[in-house]
Each structure stands twice: as structure tokens, then as C-alpha cells.
Amino acid sequence: MTEMMSHAELEAALRQIGAERYHWNHPFHRRLHGGECSKAEVTVWALNRFYYQSMIPVKDAAILARMRDPALRRAWRQRIIDHDGEREGDGGIERWLKLTDGLGLERDYVISTEGILPATRFAVDAYVHFVQERSLLEAIASSLTEMFSPKIIADRVSGMLANYDFINEQTLAYFGKRLSQAPRDADFALDYVKREAHTPEQQAAVLAALTFKCDVLWAQLDALEHAYVTPGRIPPGAFQPGAA
């Protein structure tokens, strides 16, 4: 019989999952930050990751649609505003497109997502379905990878600026904004799951939701590495760097 964890124990268990399963442990990320990726590899990373970025507000809207408390919705809707912006040309998705612009990809091609790996689409869509189908508690808990993102973003920005001459402050504008947005979002979600997980089973579901989300991020890098690094076999129909 599992016992109820204290709030501090729950947070420690969440951080432990991050330490073991967050994609900062993935070799592709280490190569990306360490300057070992070719421009083609950075490009396919940015192209595939665009689909993830573009679906974040869809995911957050699905969560918003399940909330019955206006105060909760007021807090959560900021995430959608952050990604979609206050006006045309603003917001996190637009800032991600500055990165793909800088890498020489056509915007229409990026936005079409036609060149992404099927495995990217399956992983991202699994995240959207998860927040639609699981409890609101699990849906909110699945956002808790934000607890770890300031560290990975700091490493990414400094490593990429130092190592790639095709990357500059402007093309990495997305990450600058996230350094202030992510901790605010993570604190809110962490407080929520501490407060609303009332049973050992609910606490276990919170941990499982974070594990699931780590799997979603990890699977995207595995697919990228398989297609473009080792063994480097691009699945039928996906983007071919040489042909760009």
C-alpha cells in the first residue's frame, strides 16, 4: 500500500523523474549544445520541433476547455497568449519561425509540417490526446517538464551561440522569452498538483504524467537521431536535407 507523500516529497519525486528521463540526457541534445551538429542536423531539429511548438496552444486550449474555475482559466490562458502572441508577428510560434528562417527553411514549408517525421507527429499528437483524455490533474501535471526547461534553455542558448555561426541572438529569440515564462508556468502547475493530488493514487498519476511527457520529448529526439544521425535512415516522405 503506497502512502501519501508530503508536498516536498512529491516535488522531490518529480525532480527525480526529470533527472532520469528529461531529454537533457539525450545524446542528440548534448551534440546540439556542444556544437557537434551539422547545420543540416540543427535544421531538421528546428523543423520537427516546430510541430511541437505549434501544437502547444492547441494542447493548452484543450486543457482550458476542461477547467470549470474562471480563476484557473485566467491563469492558464496566458500560456496560449504567450505562444500565439498579442498580434500578427508576435508570440512563441512566430519566434520559432525566426529560427527556421535563419536556417534557410521556407516558412510555408515549415508551417505545412509536411516534411516532419511521422514519429514527431505521433509523439506530439499523443501529448494533445493525453490532456484531452486523462484527468485535469494529469493534464496539468504533464506540463511539469517546464520545471527543467530553464536549465536546458540556458545551456542551449549559450552552447548554440558559441558553436554555430549560422545561429545568432535574433534567431534564438524564442528561448529568451521562455526563460521568464517557463518558471512562472512551472510554479503554477507545481502548486496545483501539490494542492489537488489528494490521494496516493492521484500523486502516482501526477508522477506518471510527468514520465509520459518526458517520453514524448525523448521519442522526438530518438526519431530525429535515427533519421538523420545514426543510422541516418530517413523514413519515406520526410525532409531530405540534401534536396533543400
Binding site for a second copy (CB under 8 A): 20-21, 25, 27, 117-119, 121-123, 125-126, 129, 211-212, 214-216, 218-219, 222-223, 225-227, 230-231, 233, 235-237
Q: State the nearest-atom distance from the C-beta of 235 to a second copy, in Å.
A: 5
Q: State the nearest-atom distance from the C-beta of 172 to a second copy, in Å.
A: 28
Q: Is the dihedral of CA 164, 165, 169, 174 positive or negative?
A: negative
Q: Which is nearer to a second copy, 123 or 172 (CB)?
A: 123
Q: Which is nearer to a second copy, 22 or 96 (CB)?
A: 22
Helices (DSSP H) in 85-199: which residue ranges?
92-102, 107-112, 118-133, 136-141, 149-163, 173-196
- For residue 236, which of 118, 138, 132 has the smallest C-alpha distance? 118
Q: State the nearest-atom distance from the C-beta of 121 to a second copy, in Å.
A: 7
Q: Which is nearer to a second copy, 15 or 77 (CB)?
A: 15
Residues 6+ apart with CB under 8 A from 214: 17, 18, 21, 22, 23, 145
* Helix (H/G/I), strand (E/B), else coil: 192: helix
Type of residue at 55: M
Polymer length in residues for the chain: 244
Q: State the nearest-atom distance from the C-beta of 219 to a second copy, in Å.
A: 5
C-alpha cell at 26: 539525450
d(CA 106, CA 149): 28
Q: State the nearest-atom distance from the C-beta of 151 to a second copy, in Å.
A: 18
Q: Which is nearer to a second copy, 148 or 174 (CB)?
A: 148
C-alpha cell at 77: 490562458
Q: Which is nearer to a second copy, 35 or 118 (CB)?
A: 118
Residues 6+ apart with CB under 8 A from 133: none
CA distances to 86, 170, 174, 194 from 90, rounded to whole Å, are 6, 14, 11, 33
Contact (Cβ atoms closer than 8 angstroms) between residue 162 and residue 35: yes
Q: State the nearest-atom distance from the C-beta of 40 to a second copy, in Å.
A: 18
Q: Which is nearer to a second copy, 67 or 128 (CB)?
A: 128
Q: Which is nearer to a second copy, 172 or 227 (CB)?
A: 227
Q: State the nearest-atom distance from the C-beta of 215 to a second copy, in Å.
A: 4
Helices (DSSP H) in 23-69: which residue ranges?
27-33, 39-64
